[in-house]
Amino acid sequence: DIQMTQSPSTLSASVGDRVTITCRASQTISSQLAWYQQKPGKAPKLLIYKASSLESGVPSRFSGSGSGTEFTLTVSSLQPDDFATYFCQQYSSFWTFGQGTKVEIK
Amino acid sequence: EVQLVESGGGLVQSGGSLRLSCAASGFTFNIFEMNWVRQAPGKGLEWLSYIDGSGSTTYYADSVKGRVTISRDNAKNSLYLQMASLRAEDTAVYFCVRAPQSVMDVWGKGTTVIVSS
């Protein structure tokens, strides 16, 4: 089974900050990685797929990079609506999610 | 509008069974792969099961293999998850998810299953 490890678990930031979340796969997954945003009581929302492709309708301040085993999600300028929990997910071999990164207000 | 609406959740005793349903609308259901994903209270996301568009290929996570069955009725634009031998650790919100080329792009709002011991 492929394990996904995200860091940090919690991130405190202010509006306008540039934030980066890291995701590491236990074995190579090429670019078969997605990022999701989830708010309390809501379903996850797809942000990024194929490691760096922006889902339609997602603001361009979100970007993804990486391949193989190391990946990052970057928010270039954090907005009030972006305070949420973010999950990475591999879909190279079945599906596995990272444990999540909560982005909270500093 | 593309939409997935889950139903069938509720309170069930340990060892009991439950059948979850997912009604799809706004897209051509029979050409899309579908999945079930769950989230225990305060926890992360766990993939449970996959089914292809025709219903001929299915996969299960080890945590539920042998206890759940995924199926679909393309004539009714519906996805199902039959769950048996439920345990306290199956308590979670269960999401129906569309997954073209394995990318989970559309999620339902979820249905809550509570297993009481």
How many beta-carbon contacts under 8 Å exist across A and B? 51
Q: Which residues contact A92 (CB under 8 A, 6 or more apart)?
A: A2, A25, A28, A29, A30, A32
Residues of chain B with pLDDT under 50: none
**Hey, is B19 helix, strand or coil?**
strand
In chain A, which residues have their Cβ closer than 8 Å to the Cβ of B103?
A: 34, 46, 49-50, 91
Instruction: Tell me if B44 and A100 make a contact (CB, 8 A cut-off).
Output: yes
| Partner residues linked to A52 by β-bridges | none
- What does the alpha-carbon distance between residue B83 and residue A56 come to, in Å, rounded to a whole number? 34
pLDDT of residue B117: 86
Q: Measure in Å the smallest separation between the Cα of A47 and chain B Cα atoms.
A: 9
Read off the pLDDT of residues B89-99 as tens digits, 9 standing for 90 and up: 999 999 999 99
Tokens, residue B30? 């029979």
pLDDT of residue B48: 98
DSSP designation for A55: P
Whether cis (ω within 30° of 0) applies to the bond prior to B41 is: no
Nearest by CB: A95 against B47, B107, B109: B47
In chain A, which residues have their Cβ closer than 8 Å to the Cβ of B110?
A: 43
Torsion angles phi and psi, residue A73, rounded to 5? -115, 130
Residues of chain A with pLDDT under 50: none
Q: Measure in Å the smallest separation between the Cα of B66 and chain A Cα atoms.
A: 17
The one-letter code for the residue type at B52 is D
Give the other-Cβ count within 10 Å of B83's Cβ: 22
Tell me how far apart the 2 most distant CA atoms of chain A are, in Å. 38
Read off the pLDDT of residues A39-50 as tens digits, 9 standing for 90 and up: 999 999 999 999
Give the other-Cβ count within 10 Å of A68's Cβ: 14
Instruction: Tell me if A91 and B59 make a contact (CB, 8 A cut-off).
Output: no
Nearest by CB: A44 against B45, B46, B59: B45
